[in-house]
Structure 1
Amino acid sequence: MPPKPKPQLTHFLLLPLVTPTSRPQLQSSLQRFFAEVTTPNDSRDPALPAKAIRPVGAIHLTIGVMSLPTPDRLAAACTYLQSLDIPTMLRAACDPPPATLSPDPPTASNPPPPQPLLTTLSGLHTLRPPTSTSSLHASPTPSSPHLLPFATALRAAFTAAGFLIPDSRPLTLHATLVNTIYARSAKSGKNRWTKGSGRFDATRLIERYKDVEWARDVRIEKVAVCEMGARVVGVEEGGGGVDQVYREVASVELP
């Protein structure tokens, strides 16, 4: 029996990281990173292709990917997101629940407000062996310890509802900063970089940026469903070419 064809990936569930507060931090740190890694002073470091560096507007935390090939399926996924009780999910992710200073103990009709989701993006990491990788990411430092439990609960809910592609691996939240897939030629699909596979030895880069903070105390403000493929929205000042964003088709604001 021939293997089942892989579903076409059309959308993904994510936590956006670009806000009016975080954008200046990300803009500054990524511009500096762009200048350093595309024209390195030390010949032992790989000179990364400019198109491999992700624009500020595309920085996010992916929860899972979806195949929503019809308008009905897309509408159903958007409706499902809107139907979730996000405050309750946030409170459930806090273990133990936060203490309250209210003189009245919390009850079902008077629950404590959920804690805001804050994170600090730091370091440089890879999900592949560092000696042969095509992507690098910053990790969200858990300034809010309920960030990962909340994201994991979202993934479980969307998977159970049949919208996310099932993934048995533990969720690893990461913000991609480098991916050489974006240096490929749009016409041929081949990598424009001299290294045909797009993989490179990132060992020294990871060591060099292990203590870097890209943005501190980023408040995650919403959960969103976006289309695959970032779109150009304008010129980004100071390197990195144009800025890009993902087209949002549905979102829910976090309390």
Structure 2
Amino acid sequence: MAYKRNPSGRLTHFLAIPLSTDAIEQSLSLFRDEIIKHHPNVPVKAIRPPSTVHLTIAVMSLGEGRNSRLDEAKMRLIQLPSSIIPASTLEVGLKGIETFSDANPERAHVLFASLIGADVPRLQVFADKTLEYFYNCGFPVQLKNGATNKVVLHATIVNTIYAKTKNDQFDANQARAKTLGQRKNMTFRPNINASDLIAKYADFEFLSPTKLTRIGLYKMGEKSAEEGGGYECVAYLDLP
């Protein structure tokens, strides 16, 4: 049966496996240089910093104040049942550039790297079981693939939400927004024609199979550069 619960409040936290490593930093630096030189249609601001690269397991609305379930979520993660935790080390890597199956690659907003390595099936089982566990504990999780109850494992490399701009280069939908009386200088999220990128970087390896060290509960909202970037981890569980 497909999960049906979705959070009704503001999304506050997410469960994820961090992938920030020296290797990721080097490969993203190379990818960024390639984009600047050969793909001016891709906003540089949309390329994610190495400190933010992760595999999302679940996004949740844990409430605030007296209604907050943060402490419970932290406890559930730290005390994750042994039947869910992998019995041995998981090693996965990242390769290529893709868009989500329901997205038009000629008007993409998000580009991600896919997982590679012999342990990907085991990681998928771990992710699915973790999502199911938090759902069964009553947490309001946001589901993107409720038809199959499977976590869509991916590592976001480019996201144009971080490259919103004010300009006069409107597409058809944005032009309609102007006619509805909205301001000319509103910020708009740019689209990327990623067809060439997907083909060109199909074999680009962002990360060779590497040991996954932990799963964490993170606060929504990226930290500033002064704070070290990335996301604030409020609880974590070391993996074998």
Q: TM-score range by the shorter chain?
A: 0.7 to 0.9
Which of 170, 174, 177 is the matching residue for 2:157?
177
| Residue type at the aligned position of 2:217 | V
Alpha-carbon shift at residue 47 of structure 1 (Å): 2.6
Please list every run of 5 or more consecutive structure 2 residues that lacks an aligned counterpart in the other structure: 1-5, 171-187
Q: When the two structures are aligned, how many residues end up with a matched partner?
A: 209
Q: Is the 8 A contact 1:14 1:225 kept in 2?
A: yes
Q: Does 1:122 align with 2:95?
A: yes
1:79 corresponds, among 75, 82, 87, to 75
Aligned CA distance change for structure 1 residues 164 and 213 (closer, same or farther; 3 Å):
farther
Q: Is the 8 A contact 1:120 1:216 kept in 2?
A: yes
With 119-128 and 4-13 compared, the bigger mean Cα shift is at 4-13
What whole-Å deviation, never above 9, does each CA across 1:97-141 have from its counterpart, x for those lacking one?
xxxxxxxxxxxxxxxxx2201101001011112111101000111
Map 1:165-204 onto structure 2 (within 5 A).
Answer: 165-167=141-143, 168-169=146-147, 170-184=150-164, 194=169, 196-204=188-196
Following TM superposition, by how much is the alpha carbon of 1:28 offset from its aligned partner in structure 2, in angstroms? 1.2
Secondary structure of 2:15 counterpart: strand
Letter in 2 for 1:90: I
Deviation of residue 143 (structure 1)?
A: 2.4
Paired residues of 1:8 and 1:67 also in contact (CA < 8 A) = yes
Q: How large is the RMSD of aligned CA atoms in angstroms? A: 2.3
Structure 1 residues 177 and 166, CA gap change in structure 2 (3 angstroms): closer
Give, in whole Å, the separation in 1 of the partners of 2:204 and 2:7: 41
Whether the 8 Å CA contact 2:96–2:203 is kept in 1: the answer is yes
* Alpha-carbon distance change, 175 to 243 in structure 1, aligned in 2, over 3 angstroms: farther
Identify if the C-alpha distance between structure 1 residues 192 and 157 changes in structure 2 by more than 3 Å, giving closer, same or farther: farther
* Correspondence 1:89 to 2:81: no
Q: Aligned ranges for residues 119-158 of structure 1 at < 5 Å?
A: 119-127=92-100, 128-144=103-119, 145-158=121-134
Of residues 228, 233, 237, the one that matches 1:248 is 233
What do the CA deviations read for 1:141-190 (whole angstroms, capped 9, x no partner)? 14213010111100110111122425214321000000000112xxxxx5
Q: Are residues 193 and 70 of structure 1, via their aligned partners in 2, closer, same or farther at CA, if it must alter by over 3 Å?
A: farther
What is the deviation of 1:69? 2.0
Q: Equivalents in 1 of 2:69, 2:15: separation in Å?
A: 14
- Structure 1 runs not aligned, ≥5 long: 92-113, 185-189, 235-241
* Partner SS for 2:217: strand
> Partner letter of residue 93 of structure 2?
T
**Number of the residue aligned with 1:52:** 46
Alignment match, 1:232: 224
Q: Give, in angstroms, the shift of residue 243 of structure 1.
A: 6.3
Pair 5,80 (structure 1): closer, same or farther in 2 beyond 3 Å: closer
Paired-residue identity, %: 33
Higher share of residues assigned helix: 2
Q: Is the 8 A contact 1:46 1:200 kept in 2?
A: no
Of residues 26, 29, 44, the one that matches 1:28 is 26
Per-residue deviation at 1:39?
3.4
* Structure 1 residue 232 displacement after superposition: 2.5
| Alignment counterpart, residue 208 of structure 1, candidates 193, 200, 217 | 200
Task: Check conservation: 1:120, 1:143, Cα contact below 8 A.
Answer: no
Instruction: Provide the rounded CA distance (Å) in 1 between the counterparts of 2:168 and 2:58.
Output: 29
TM-score in terms of structure 1 length: 0.75
Structure 1 residues 55 and 166 mapped into 2: Cα distance closer, same or farther (>3 Å)? closer
Contact 2:107–2:193 (Cα < 8 Å) also in 1: yes
